[in-house]
Amino acid sequence: MAASQDNQPPAGTASALDYDAIIIGAGMSGLYQLYRLRELGLRVRVLETGTGVGGTWYWNRYPGARFDSESYSYGYSFSQELLDEWDWTEHFSPQPETLRYLNHVADKFDLRRDIQFKSRVTSAHYQEATRAWDVTLEDGSRYRCRFLITAIGLLSAPTMPRMAGVDTFKGQSFHTARWPHEPVRFEGKRVAVIGTGATGVQTIQEVAKTAGHLTIFQRTPNWCAPLHNGKIDAREMAKIRADYPDIFKRCQETFACFLHTPDPRGTFEVTPEEREAVFERLYADRGFGIWQGNFRDILVDRKANAVISDFVARKIRQRVKDPVVAEKLIPKNHGFGTRRVPLETRYYEVYNQPNVTLVDINETPIERVTPDGIKTSDAEHAFDIIIYATGFDAITGAYDRIDLRGIDGQRLKDAWKDGPQTYLGVLVEGFPNMMMLMGPHTALGNIPRSIEYNVEWVTGLVRHARDNNLTRLEATPQGVASWTDHVRALGMGLLSNEVDSWMTGINKNVEGKQVRTVARYSGSAPAYRARCDEAAAGGYPELRLG
């Protein structure tokens, strides 16, 4: 490595390396990883498909896109200067502000000089002879590096519905995660939205404000809860800034790195009146409190879950005037919080507007997209714009879209055909020198908090390699088996694991993603960090180092 000239790697290898490390992706994790590896003095290149930094916040420009985590718990915590100079203007920052923030980070730390835009990685093959990765871009250019770090996101591979006629539509159509950079106007337009996940909900409540007519095609309703966003003025920002040490300390301590953490009491340990009061308070509070800060048993105990589900159903019935529409919006096949809870701002009230129609496609399935709109079993709907809020091939999808091959040409996709197998969610047996950021089996939750830890752990490992003149890092079979078994065991008993969603690896639009897998670590973030810290302190006993 460039930083360790005294520690010469085996002859014939270093000279052939273009970079010590290649990072795929210039989103929140890729940017921070670049910053840290540069500190180590490594020659690093970030390869990014887009024309700018930001990852999720670069691609997801759909109307209404914003954080569901409090802005001040979401930004990077590693630089005091950055904390001192950046003002958040809303409790849940809208996408344009977040993208400005990430551009500011890239400029402030002079990151762009090591980022290559419009550079989609199509393949990365490990070569044992050189202990290096050969990385190929879409345009055919090739680079060799010692370490390959994937910062490709867990919700970054958008999926379109498998419907006849999608390409025949004559109007404008967009997937929410491939939204154009130019503004799209809805005034007077007949607009369709397909999908009612967290993205669909944010889109619908925004588009409904101006669309001539908005038609929502819903397959599965989700349990949504109020976001309660608000502006942050200078005085409040000063207070938040003074509180940053406490905010980040709290995020370190909570189960999923959010500001919210479960109430230690069980649902039935309080009186019905107390319980109702707690639910009311949580429903009136900002953010994920009602999901992450509720009684400790709502996500594992069926009866407890039924009580909170009933509470939220009552709220939906109160807010939606037409009782038939209200019933359609209340989930019947899963309980509250067993899928990702979309946070909303007057989402349910949208359905009281005269310019909005809900189509339940379980009753009247979509038969095809036509040149003029969407044909269901009972009607032809004409549209000017169709919005596909149909989600992602989550967690492993971005990996599947790159031809990643390890020792002896083994494909990662094949190695993971029955679900991912990892060591700490970072390394994979048979794929030496590849490290994943926010890969399968890592603690997710409030993502940037997990990213910072993940990046620092990977940086520690690379530093260890540099200091010990190591050129090959590989997870042992025992390390992978024990971590993968642990992750699977943690998922037992969670109601969310009995439900189809991106969190259980289901995507009906993707071949091979019809069976639930355990791709998500569902233990606590502090426990995850303790396990990773222990591995590092012990000199990485579950890695084969050479």
How big is the site for ligand NA7, counted in residues (CB under 6 A)?
Answer: 20
Site residues for ligand NA7, 83-112, by CB under 6 A, read none
The stretches of 320-393 forming alpha helices (DSSP H) are 323-329, 347-350
Encoded tokens for 441: 């089996």
From the CB of 468, what's the least distance to ligand NA7, in Å? Answer: 39
For residues 49 and 139, is the Cβ–Cβ distance under 8 A?
A: no
Under the binding rule (CB under 6 A), the answer on residue 389 touching ligand NA7 is: yes
d(C-alpha 34, C-alpha 26), whole Å: 9
Residue number with CB closer to ligand NA7 (123 or 509):
509
Under the binding rule (CB under 6 A), the answer on residue 287 touching ligand NA7 is: no
Closest CA to 372 of 159, 212, 165, 163: 165
Among 27, 64, 75, 200, binds ligand NA7 (CB under 6 A): 200
Residue number with CB closer to ligand NA7 (9 or 221):
221
Q: Which residue matches tokens 């503004």?
A: 183
From the CB of 376, what's the least distance to ligand NA7, in Å? Answer: 11
Return the CA Rg of the chain. Answer: 24
* Residues counted in the chain: 546
The residue of the chain with the least Cβ separation from ligand NA7 equals: 197
Under the binding rule (CB under 6 A), the answer on residue 209 touching ligand NA7 is: no
Encoded tokens for 402: 């790159």
Among 77, 199, 450, 454, binds ligand NA7 (CB under 6 A): 199
Q: Which stretch binds ligand NA7 (CB under 6 A): 21-29, 37-45, 136-144, 502-510?
A: 502-510
Residue 480, phi then psi, degrees to nearest 5: -65, -45
Among 91, 189, 315, 340, binds ligand NA7 (CB under 6 A): 340
Q: Which stretch binds ligand NA7 (CB under 6 A): 94-102, 192-200, 352-360, 416-424?
A: 192-200
Residue number with CB closer to ligand NA7 (142 or 508):
508
Closest CA to 284 of 326, 206, 329, 228: 228
Backbone angle region of 118, left / alpha / beta, with phi > 0 → left and psi within -120 to 50 → alpha: left
From the CB of 306, what's the least distance to ligand NA7, in Å? Answer: 21
Task: Find all residues with CB under 8 Å of 455, minimum gap 6, and list them.
Answer: 29, 32, 33, 36, 437
Closest CA to 321 of 358, 278, 284: 358
From the CB of 374, what's the least distance to ligand NA7, in Å? Answer: 10
Strands 132-137 and 121-127: antiparallel
Residue number with CB closer to ligand NA7 (200 or 425):
200
Residue number with CB closer to ligand NA7 (417 or 508):
508
Under the binding rule (CB under 6 A), the answer on residue 195 touching ligand NA7 is: yes
Burial track 451-470 (b if 16+ CB lie within 10 A, e otherwise): bbbbbbbbbbbbbbbbeeeb
Site string for ligand NA7, 149-178 (x = CB under 6 A): ------x-----x-----------------
Backbone angle region of 534, left / alpha / beta, with phi > 0 → left and psi within -120 to 50 → alpha: alpha
Under the binding rule (CB under 6 A), the answer on residue 219 touching ligand NA7 is: yes
Task: State which H helix or E strand residue 133 sits in.
Answer: strand 132-137
Residue number with CB closer to ligand NA7 (220 or 309):
220
Q: Which stretch binds ligand NA7 (CB under 6 A): 82-90, 167-175, 189-197, 486-494?
A: 189-197
Neighbours of 95 (CB within 10 A): 22
Among 86, 279, 502, 528, binds ligand NA7 (CB under 6 A): 502
d(C-alpha 82, C-alpha 85), whole Å: 5
Q: Which stretch binds ligand NA7 (CB under 6 A): 93-101, 244-252, 311-319, 383-391?
A: 383-391
For residues 1 and 20, is the Cβ–Cβ distance under 8 A?
A: yes
From the CB of 161, what's the least distance to ligand NA7, in Å? Answer: 3
Among 220, 305, 433, 459, binds ligand NA7 (CB under 6 A): 220
Site residues for ligand NA7, 437-496, by CB under 6 A, read none
Among 73, 196, 454, 496, binds ligand NA7 (CB under 6 A): 196
Among 1, 17, 31, 198, binds ligand NA7 (CB under 6 A): 198
For residues 440 and 425, is the Cβ–Cβ distance under 8 A?
A: yes
Contact set with ligand NA7 (CB under 6 A) = 155, 161, 194-200, 219-220, 340, 361, 389-392, 502, 508-509
